[in-house]
Structure 1
């Protein structure tokens, strides 16, 4: 009777303090961020710094499971957690060795019990406790759940736990497909993970792997020829980095859902990886302090397919930790397509309407073209494909900056103006703050026939279905897209494949290229995150080549641009209705081109070096803004030019000295300056 009581007390002591039986669904594991197909983008360590990725049988190569059970626990499917024959053998060895554990005799269930408790079992009491715990696990869990726990908790050296983390760390791949040699190594390592770590002792890792192969051959679980081939496969000698794709977005996703074990994003892992490599390579070619950001999205659904926040998360010189897809920057000329789209929608213009590109003042605001030259009379089509500044500002003045802001907001963009400032004409040339994601959203609307496209990536709430006010009408959106398809490509691109626009902000601080085909829209930003200028950086040189290379990487997503919708007028300028042949401002008096002419160059009182002293004098170019052509040009009262349409004329002096230059327009209004030429 006393013996029975003593045994019961011992059993009670063994059971007392056993941890509750865990469920894999609630066990602390590494948070993982995956793409739209469930492929791993980035895992995070647990709170105690361990790589413990949740792993189920379905995630692992079936051959590995067969090898694991054959080597570790052949009776796993039949026993109730304890293999008594193995335990008897281990007990006899324990007695024969004077109380020292020689072999464990542990089943996979007992190993799971030890891993859950986190206590060593190299003593009899620990082994008995492990047996009791294993018995409870068998009664409370199924065999599949026990095996899943082992696959998740098995130690593989250092802070690596579980077969999935080990496969990624040592082989750089998921464990769904393993070679025989890889599977054998993953079977061997948990028996002595620190001593057999391949990154510390490759020779020990090889010996342990080959020992598993030899035993499996002896058991008849593996053919000799296959084992011999596996023995010749090299073992890894270093740990690989865990995947860190979409690093910025993945971190935002985990912060947004702190308790989530897995967060699925809308990204495409293959495209994300390709564009990250592209961004890093292009940034290296430009400057170590330059970063590159890329956003790709599906036009119809708004799914973000790739989001590259920088040229490299750990690129310290270019502040790689800053997510430049969400940084507010000056958009340069990238808003011009929407400006012209509004003019088309309001019936003010057609792509083949003529417009003047000449010096024009809007009060104190005097826009100039990027290259400083004027083209005279051009079509709206050419004004946009050549990204001329003055026509864009004239059109913006006609449609109204407030309307531009309103349509940007319809496109799910949030244009930032200086504190207390109202929308102004400067917006047309970059005088507003906007993010790369917002620009991509705006261009997606143009590509989508004018309907707004709300980008979403899986981090925030899903956009609510419903109808929103259009950004442009279908015909106007198509007109814009058709023009952008004619923008000359960079040296690495072919024409007509995509519709796109570049932009360069003031001072060469931001280079942009945004483009789309019939299915995908991609935006590229290049610059320094600290806002410092990069001399010579421009949209066509810095960002456009990246954009075209990005489209080279979208694979089977390529699709032709949309066809013309009903109502589109496909005609040259002479065939247009009379009101559309020339762009006319609704209120011509608002535009300073009706003001008196002004000599824009040279300035009054300046010295102009024409090389007269060397005998190889260059003529002086006299330029005029405002006024009504044709203009008559004078030097000291003598006419020297009366071009029919041009706003400039050449004058060659007889020698050095002061000269009074004058101009008179068709209305008799004039201006003059006095300069010294030498």
Structure 2
């Protein structure tokens, strides 16, 4: 009986114990389930990435910290192995708390009379980081345990590890492995050396005392302890650890990339809630052109500024965007994105003027046109150098960027036709006063560098619009509309490809045009080859005049340098299309041989002046004056030497002219009807 009674009591005790344990377990589970977790999603730095995924620019989060978002794929696997082996070798086996580690820590504390090692798991460290809590107080430790247990129930081990690599502190305003790798090693966290990985394992244990840029001795000792522990854990060999100990300690922080800062700001402002912006920018080329912009201003006035755009006109992708040099330089107004600033384009619209004339059958590149003093009503344009060249082919007039011929052609077209052509090319010009006049051809209109590069991209694409874009995946759908015929676009490119290059630049590399706005406020150079198009602007951001600034001298060399930075062989321009008329002037149809400016009629000059003396090819002896004679034509006459007028409104048919300098001289005479004659003579 006694035995049965004992057995019965034992069964009751076991049952009560099991009930108590189950109740305790349920209450514990409920306690964990009711844990109020901190936010798991934290603000991360907005990133702007180039076409190859390279970081162009990053922005700090609201509290000024660098916290670059990372997945485990963003981190070197070797680092993760070392982190787990050093901090929490049973990470994949516990549920947030490691009882064995706790027993070990307690036993060491009792034996040594002080705390020797901690028992925090990586999950507990994540709990502390999420709450920004302390590890010193017991209530803080219990809170971490509770949060860690709750995290393990809701997240996978990979998700917990991801939280750690995003939130671990690395000193100063650095959080996360990616930010630390950038700041201390100037490299992505995907490829770390053993020494670098061990350093990043060591820093978060005491991030301020172990900042490499401030306390190199402290962090070096901590790194050695990490490496020794990894040798004990068989993750590293003794030889690997000894080599890693010799690795240098970074003594400074590297700055975060700030490439294409103006475009980065634009991208973020356009879609402010996007965490990562993927652009078409080539990071290597962007860096090269920013350095080019810096060197271009070396020795220039402190207020001078430069902007550069380079794109692939086949795809429309912008590969480099330099809004200004020295983004943070207030003296140069570097914060202003000069690719978007409205400026006068100077002579850079002249190719479109002639292209439209070719399209309408008004002219051909070999058509002869007059460059003489001409009044267009109250408008009396002058060439930039004040020299007139007489009669010459349109090809030469464009290459020399003469003003009188292009205004004559614009008058024949009508200024509204030029503005319409700009709009068909994808540009919205700003017209002073709202009504276009003849001055539009010489830059009397507001456009941006982006506009001009877009226009020349269309010329390079055989006269079809090519809208440029900078955000990956957002290629415009409005491309391919024709604003010039293929033939006319080819004529323009063929002419521009023969413009003499700057000193020491390769000939025939680009079809390009320079421009200088009125008052020397803007210097331009825009050009293209068979694949790429680029534009350069130089001037002052505040629009102040820059005396002596010319596009050919300032901007053109930078344009050729920009193409050289591509580090690719030149891509030839397209061959002439079947419709192109590639003949000499003498073989042109009669209506295309001569352009009569005032009424846009073409005719063979009749009854015009003829130089009776000196005849073409004559040799003159050097003297103070010489006599020139003209027959036919209608007085009064204008006489020019090498394009410069020397006698105006002369009614006599025989005049004395000042003897020019020795060598070959061009003598020209223009009658009252605008008809001209000239001869080439040699002065001995």
Which bracket does the TM-score occupy, shorter chain normalised? 0.7 to 0.9
For the 8 Å contact 2:487–2:580, the answer to whether it is kept is yes
**467 and 546 in structure 1: CA distance in 2 versus 1, 3 angstrom threshold:** closer
What SS does the corresponding residue of 1:207 show, helix, strand or coil?
helix
What is the Cα deviation at residue 262 of structure 1? 0.8
In the other structure, the counterpart of 2:423 is 409
For the 8 Å contact 1:291–1:527, the answer to whether it is kept is yes
Q: Which runs of 5+ in 1 are unaligned?
A: 598-616, 643-648, 653-662, 670-678
What is the Cα deviation at residue 271 of structure 1? 1.1
1:423 aligns to 2:436 (yes or no):
yes
What is the Cα deviation at residue 220 of structure 1? 2.1
2-structure distance, mates of 1:37, 1:10: 50
1:19 aligns to 2:32 (yes or no):
no
For the 8 Å contact 2:33–2:150, the answer to whether it is kept is no
More deviation in 479-488 or 175-184?
175-184
1:85 aligns to 2:100 (yes or no):
yes
1-structure distance, mates of 2:67, 2:652: 86
In the other structure, the counterpart of 2:83 is 68
Q: Which runs of 5+ in 2 are unaligned?
A: 1-15, 610-622, 640-646, 660-668, 676-684
For the 8 Å contact 2:529–2:570, the answer to whether it is kept is yes
In the other structure, the counterpart of 1:277 is 291
1:116 aligns to 2:130 (yes or no):
yes
More deviation in 130-139 or 28-37?
130-139
After superposition, the C-alpha distances for 1:65-105 in whole angstroms (9 at most, x for unaligned) are 2222222222222322222211212233455677x754321
What SS does the corresponding residue of 2:235 show, helix, strand or coil?
coil
What is the Cα deviation at residue 359 of structure 1? 1.0
**630 and 150 in structure 1: CA distance in 2 versus 1, 3 angstrom threshold:** same
1-structure distance, mates of 2:625, 2:253: 70
After superposition, the C-alpha distances for 1:207-227 in whole angstroms (9 at most, x for unaligned) are 222222222223221123332
In the other structure, the counterpart of 1:220 is 234
1:434 aligns to 2:447 (yes or no):
yes
For the 8 Å contact 1:511–1:539, the answer to whether it is kept is yes
What is the Cα deviation at residue 475 of structure 1? 0.5
2-structure distance, mates of 1:360, 1:257: 53
After superposition, the C-alpha distances for 1:604-630 in whole angstroms (9 at most, x for unaligned) are xxxxxxxxxxxxx977999xxxx9689
After superposition, the C-alpha distances for 1:273-321 in whole angstroms (9 at most, x for unaligned) are 1111111111123222111101111212211111111111112210111
What SS does the corresponding residue of 1:444 show, helix, strand or coil?
helix
In the other structure, the counterpart of 2:637 is 631
What is the Cα deviation at residue 462 of structure 1? 3.4
TM (norm. structure 2) is 0.84
In the other structure, the counterpart of 2:665 is none
For the 8 Å contact 2:281–2:320, the answer to whether it is kept is yes
What SS does the corresponding residue of 1:579 show, helix, strand or coil?
helix
**239 and 390 in structure 1: CA distance in 2 versus 1, 3 angstrom threshold:** same
Given candidates 646, 650, 654, the residue that maps to 2:657 is 650
**281 and 153 in structure 1: CA distance in 2 versus 1, 3 angstrom threshold:** same
**93 and 214 in structure 1: CA distance in 2 versus 1, 3 angstrom threshold:** closer
2-structure distance, mates of 1:650, 1:486: 35
For the 8 Å contact 1:295–1:437, the answer to whether it is kept is yes
Computing the radius of gyration from Cα coordinates, the structure with the larger value is 2
2-structure distance, mates of 1:136, 1:668: 94
What is the Cα deviation at residue 468 of structure 1? 5.6
2-structure distance, mates of 1:404, 1:538: 24
2-structure distance, mates of 1:453, 1:668: 40
In the other structure, the counterpart of 2:513 is 501
**421 and 170 in structure 1: CA distance in 2 versus 1, 3 angstrom threshold:** same
2-structure distance, mates of 1:628, 1:392: 25
1:540 aligns to 2:555 (yes or no):
no
What SS does the corresponding residue of 2:251 show, helix, strand or coil?
coil
1:456 aligns to 2:469 (yes or no):
yes
TM (norm. structure 1) is 0.85
2-structure distance, mates of 1:228, 1:35: 38
1:602-613 residue pairs with structure 2 within 5 A? none
**204 and 356 in structure 1: CA distance in 2 versus 1, 3 angstrom threshold:** same
1:26-105 residue pairs with structure 2 within 5 A? 26-94=41-109, 102-105=116-119
**89 and 388 in structure 1: CA distance in 2 versus 1, 3 angstrom threshold:** same
After superposition, the C-alpha distances for 1:452-496 in whole angstroms (9 at most, x for unaligned) are 01111129x935525664121111011101111111111141110
**212 and 305 in structure 1: CA distance in 2 versus 1, 3 angstrom threshold:** same
What is the Cα deviation at residue 556 of structure 1? 3.8
What is the Cα deviation at residue 383 of structure 1? 0.7
1:345 aligns to 2:359 (yes or no):
yes
1:477 aligns to 2:489 (yes or no):
yes
**50 and 558 in structure 1: CA distance in 2 versus 1, 3 angstrom threshold:** farther
Given candidates 234, 244, 248, the residue that maps to 1:234 is 248
Task: Count residues with an aligned counterpart.
Answer: 623
After superposition, the C-alpha distances for 1:388-444 in whole angstroms (9 at most, x for unaligned) are 1111111111112111111111222121122x3411111111111110001100110
1:514-533 residue pairs with structure 2 within 5 A? 514-533=526-545
For the 8 Å contact 2:32–2:150, the answer to whether it is kept is no
2-structure distance, mates of 1:198, 1:50: 18
In the other structure, the counterpart of 2:195 is 181
1:305-316 residue pairs with structure 2 within 5 A? 305-316=319-330
1:235-314 residue pairs with structure 2 within 5 A? 235-314=249-328
1-structure distance, mates of 2:674, 2:341: 51
In the other structure, the counterpart of 1:138 is 152
For the 8 Å contact 1:21–1:140, the answer to whether it is kept is no
More deviation in 409-418 or 374-383?
409-418
2-structure distance, mates of 1:107, 1:513: 62
In the other structure, the counterpart of 1:675 is none
For the 8 Å contact 2:498–2:511, the answer to whether it is kept is yes
After superposition, the C-alpha distances for 1:42-68 in whole angstroms (9 at most, x for unaligned) are 111111111110011111222222222
1-structure distance, mates of 2:239, 2:489: 66
2-structure distance, mates of 1:360, 1:255: 50
For the 8 Å contact 1:430–1:505, the answer to whether it is kept is yes
What SS does the corresponding residue of 1:168 show, helix, strand or coil?
helix
After superposition, the C-alpha distances for 1:352-387 in whole angstroms (9 at most, x for unaligned) are 111111111101111111111111111111111111
2-structure distance, mates of 1:416, 1:325: 16
2-structure distance, mates of 1:668, 1:234: 80
**281 and 471 in structure 1: CA distance in 2 versus 1, 3 angstrom threshold:** same
**558 and 118 in structure 1: CA distance in 2 versus 1, 3 angstrom threshold:** farther
In the other structure, the counterpart of 1:444 is 457
**536 and 466 in structure 1: CA distance in 2 versus 1, 3 angstrom threshold:** closer
Given candidates 391, 394, 400, the residue that maps to 1:386 is 400
In the other structure, the counterpart of 1:555 is 567
2-structure distance, mates of 1:373, 1:272: 41
RMSD: 3.3
What SS does the corresponding residue of 1:208 show, helix, strand or coil?
helix
What SS does the corresponding residue of 1:334 show, helix, strand or coil?
helix
